């Protein structure tokens, strides 16, 4: 007897699948497509957790200079020259490869007995990053000037700031600043106390430059 003839009638003709089993398979298939096809609607009612919102981790743009610190670094190095009608102050703001004057940050205020110059410097740190530092020069003048006629300019490309202080009374200045002026006397800088007392020395942080062409 051959193997084919040995098969029973049950093997040759498997029993038909019941209608109930077909209904279960169809229901499972429909449930799958419904589950994956209606995520937004189900997320609204809390059926599934919504997809997380993407968060920015970092940008690939080149970083700019770090903002200037709140503290102010005093300027102690400058030179000055005396003329008959005006005294001139020279302040170097540029150090090659290390420090430079940030554009649009220079401010100068002239008063009768006081000059304030401030700016923001771009400073290259040891890690080759650029940080910004506020710097300020405050001069309590030994004699009065004409604030409305005094002026300043920036020499390029050296970055040197030149302050021209027009004297109220043409005379020789042996000292640029008054060492006896106290900080609390700032409100009195426009007083009429125009002492012409001659004092010796040029003061710490100063260098007297004799220049007859300052006018």
Angle among Cα 210, 211, 215 to the nearest 5 degrees reads: 135
Write the pLDDT tens digit of every residue in 58-68.
Answer: 665 555 566 65
Domain ranges (residues) in the chain: 72-180+197-210
20-24, 143-147, 155-159: range with lowest mean pLDDT? 20-24
**Stated length of the chain:** 215
- Predicted local distance difference test score (pLDDT) of residue 15: 60
Q: What does residue 131 show for φ and ψ, rounded to 5 degrees?
A: -120, 155
Q: Tokens 């000292």 sit at which residue?
A: 175
pLDDT at 83 over 70: yes
pLDDT at 168 over 90: yes
Nearest to 72 by CA among 94, 98, 97, 105: 105
- Predicted local distance difference test score (pLDDT) of residue 126: 77
Write the pLDDT tens digit of every residue in 8-22.
Answer: 555 556 566 566 666
CATH class belonging to 72-180+197-210: mainly beta
pLDDT at 28 over 60: no
25-29, 105-109, 133-137: range with lowest mean pLDDT? 25-29
pLDDT at 32 over 70: no
pLDDT at 163 over 70: yes
**pTM score:** 0.59
Region 181-195: what's the mean pLDDT?
56
* Cβ neighbour number for residue 81 with a 10 Å cutoff: 20
Average pLDDT value over all residues in the chain: 76
């Amino acid at each position: 007897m051959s193997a084919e003839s040995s098969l029973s009638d049950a093997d040759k003709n498997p029993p038909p699948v019941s209608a109930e089993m077909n209904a279960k398979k169809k229901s499972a298939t429909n449930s799958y497509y419904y589950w994956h096809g209606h995520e937004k609607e189900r997320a609204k009612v809390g059926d599934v957790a919504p997809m997380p919102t993407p968060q920015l981790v970092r940008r690939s743009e080149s970083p700019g200079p770090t903002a200037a610190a709140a503290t102010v670094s005093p300027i102690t190095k400058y030179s000055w020259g005396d003329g008959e009608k005006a005294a001139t102050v020279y302040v170097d703001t540029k150090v090659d490869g290390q420090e430079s004057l940030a554009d649009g940050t220079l401010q100068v205020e002239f008063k009768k007995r006081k000059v304030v110059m401030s700016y923001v410097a771009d400073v290259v740190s040891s890690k080759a990053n650029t940080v910004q530092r506020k710097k300020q020069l405050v001069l309590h003048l030994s004699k009065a000037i004409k604030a409305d006629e005094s002026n300043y300019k920036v020499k390029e490309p050296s970055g040197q700031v030149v302050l021209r202080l027009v004297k109220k009374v043409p005379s020789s200045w042996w000292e640029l600043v008054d060492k006896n002026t106290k900080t609390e006397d700032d409100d009195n800088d426009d007083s009429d106390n125009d002492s012409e007392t001659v004092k010796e020395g040029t003061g710490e942080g100063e260098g007297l430059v004799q220049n007859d062409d300052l006018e």
